[in-house]
Amino acid sequence: MALTVAFIGTGRKREKGSLIGYAMAYTHAQAFSALDEVELVAACDVIEENVQAFAHEWEIDETFDDYSEMLAEVQPEAVSICTWPHLHERMVIDCARAGVKLIYCEKPMADTIGGARRMVAVCDEQGAALNFNHQRRYGRPFQLAKEMLDDGEIGDLVRIEWGGANIYDYGSHNFDMAQFFNDETPPEWVIAQIDYHTESFWFGAHNENDCLALIGYENAVFGLVATGGVEAAVGCHNKLVGTEGVIEIGSREEGAPVLRYRTYGAGDWQPVDTAGEGLHAQVYINRAVEDAVESYRAGERAMMDAHNAIHATEAIFACWESSRTRAHVEIPMEAEDNPLEAMIEAGELRPEPAEEEA
C-alpha cells in the first residue's frame, strides 16, 4: 500500500531563494515522488496561488488553505512541513495528534527549546516518527569525513570546529553535523558570547550577528563555534581536530578542495575525491527523505530523527542562554524560552533595524 504524503506550506517557487523563502516543499516533493509506493495526495498553503502552482507541478488533486481541515479530510500517513520555525511546534504536534505517522519537517526544530522538547514528547506519545531536514549527513564530503574519522586517519577526535553565518538557522546544520561526527554524543555544557547590533531575520526569526562558543560533550570532545563576523577564525565550514591530524570540509582557502586532511608532521594537505559533491545538493535531500521513509517502514529511527536533532537544538539555545546569563550553562538547560528573543524583549539587546527584503 502506498505511503500517502501531504504538504503544509508550499511556498512560492523561486528562481533564487532568499531569507524569506526557498519553497523547500518543492525539494521535499521531488524527493518523495522519486520513491516507490509513495503517493502525493494533498497540499496546503494560506496563499491560494502558491498551493495551486504546487499542486499543478506535482499533479496533486486536493488543495487546502487550512491544514487542520486537510489532516481531517485526507488523513495522510506522512506530512512534509515547510513553514517558518515559529509554526513548527504547533503544526508537528497537530499532525501527530491527528494520526500522522511520519513527519518530515524543515529545520530549525522550533523557536523555543521548550517547544522543541514538546514536539519530541508528543510524537513519542503518539507513535509518530519525527525527522528534520538536516540533509548534509547524506552528502559525500561529510560521509567520507566521518569514515576517515572512524578509520582513525587523524587519531582520536579531540575537537569539532565550525564557522557559519549564525548558530540558529544556518548553524542548525552545523550543530547537527557535530552530533553526526561525534556519534550522536549529547552536549553537556556551553559557554558563549554573542553580539547582536543589527537585526538579522532568517525566515522570521532573530539570529545573532556574531557568536563565539565553546561546547563540552559528554565524551570529553570539545566544540568550537564562530559565526558571523568572527567565523573566519575557524577558516572552513567544518573542521575535525584529532590527536594525529586534521580534516577540513569547505575550506575558505582559495582553490582548496571541498574535503582535505593532513596528519601532523606529514606536511601538505591531502585532497579527498568527493565525486563532484559539495556542501549542498538536491540529491542530499533525496537521500534524506529516502532514509526517513525506509526507516519508518522498518520501524527504525532515521539519522535525522528528532532524538538526534534535539541535542543540536539544546546546544543552540544554550549558547544564547550563556550570553543572557553570562555564565557556563549545563545541558539540558533549565530555561524553556528563546533567550535571544527574551533579551530583545527585555531591552538588553537593541539591534538596529535592518533593511526589509522584498
| Cis preceding-peptide flag for 85 (omega within 30 of 0) | no
**Residue closest to 8 by CA, chosen among 98, 96, 72, 70:** 70
Whether the CA torsion 329, 335, 336, 338 is positive or negative: it is negative
* 226 and 328 part of one domain: yes
Q: Is residue 261 part of a domain?
A: yes
In this model, does residue 21 exceed pLDDT 80?
no
pLDDT (mean) for 146-173: 97
Q: What pLDDT is stored for residue 271 in this prediction?
A: 98
Q: Is residue 357 part of a domain?
A: no
Sheet strand arrangement including 38-44: 62-64, 38-44, 3-8, 78-81, 102-105, 129-132
* 128 and 228 part of one domain: no
pLDDT (mean) for 102-116: 98
Whether the CA torsion 178, 179, 180, 181 is positive or negative: it is positive
pLDDT (mean) for 127-155: 98
Domain count, the chain: 2
Q: Is residue 26 part of a domain?
A: yes
* 95 and 142 part of one domain: no
* 273 and 289 part of one domain: no
In this model, does residue 266 exceed pLDDT 90?
no
pLDDT (mean) for 210-227: 98
> SS3 string of 52-101?
HHHHHHHCCCEEECCHHHHHHHHCCCEEEECCCHHHHHHHHHHHHHCCCC
Sheet strand arrangement including 236-242: 270-271, 259-263, 245-251, 236-242, 157-164, 222-228, 210-217, 187-195, 329-330
Q: Is residue 191 part of a domain?
A: yes
* 89 and 144 part of one domain: no
Q: What pLDDT is stored for residue 19 in this prediction?
A: 66
SS3 36: coil
* 49 and 97 part of one domain: yes
In this model, does residue 91 exceed pLDDT 50?
yes
SS3 343: helix
* Backbone Cα Rg of the chain: 20
Task: Compute the CA torsion angle 212, 227, 245, 271 (nearest 10 deg).
Answer: -170
| Cβ count within 10 A of residue 257 | 17
CATH number at residue 178: 3.30.360.10
* 63 and 179 part of one domain: no
In this model, does residue 16 exceed pLDDT 60?
yes
> In which domain, by residue range, is 173 found?
137-278+312-344
DSSP β-bridge partners for residue 42:
6, 62
The bridge status of strand 102-105 relative to strand 78-81 is parallel
pLDDT (mean) for 133-155: 98
CATH number at residue 97: 3.40.50.720
Measured CA to CA in angstroms, residue 138 lies from 134, 142, 222, 289 at distances of 9, 7, 23, 10
* 154 and 63 part of one domain: no
C-alpha cell at 88: 513548527
Place of cell 543552540: 316
Q: What pLDDT is stored for residue 267 in this prediction?
A: 81
* pLDDT tens-place string over residues 161-195: 999 999 999 999 999 999 999 999 999 999 999 99
Are residues 250 and 242 in contact, defined by beta-carbon separation less than 8 angstroms? no
* 337 and 223 part of one domain: yes
Q: How confident is the model at residue 18 (pLDDT cuts 50, 70, 90)?
A: confident
* 215 and 334 part of one domain: yes
Half-sphere exposure of 46 (CA within 13 A, CB side): 3
* 167 and 87 part of one domain: no
| Residues above pLDDT 90, as percent of the chain | 94
Q: Is residue 194 part of a domain?
A: yes
pLDDT (mean) for 59-70: 98
Q: What pLDDT is stored for residue 355 in this prediction?
A: 75
> SS3 string of 1-29?
CCEEEEEECCCCCCCCCECCECCHHHHHH
Q: Is residue 353 part of a domain?
A: no
In this model, does residue 98 exceed pLDDT 90?
yes
pLDDT (mean) for 133-146: 98
Q: How far is Cα 192 from Cα 321, in angstroms, rounded to an integer? A: 8
**Residue closest to 294 by CA, chosen among 19, 35, 11, 28:** 35
Residue 346 φ/ψ, nearest 5 degrees: -80, -5
C-alpha cell at 246: 586534521
In this model, does residue 78 exceed pLDDT 70?
yes
Q: What pLDDT is stored for residue 358 in this prediction?
A: 46
Q: Is residue 86 part of a domain?
A: yes
* pLDDT tens-place string over residues 293-346: 999 999 999 999 999 999 999 999 999 999 999 999 999 999 999 999 999 999
Domain boundary among 258, 290, 305: 305
Q: List Cβ neighbours of 91 (8 Å cut-off, separation of 6 or more).
A: 8, 67, 81, 83, 105
Q: Is residue 349 part of a domain?
A: no
pLDDT, averaged across the chain: 96
Place of cell 532524538: 307
pTM: 0.96
pLDDT (mean) for 76-101: 98
Measured CA to CA in angstroms, residue 129 lies from 107, 235, 306 at distances of 15, 37, 8
* 296 and 241 part of one domain: no
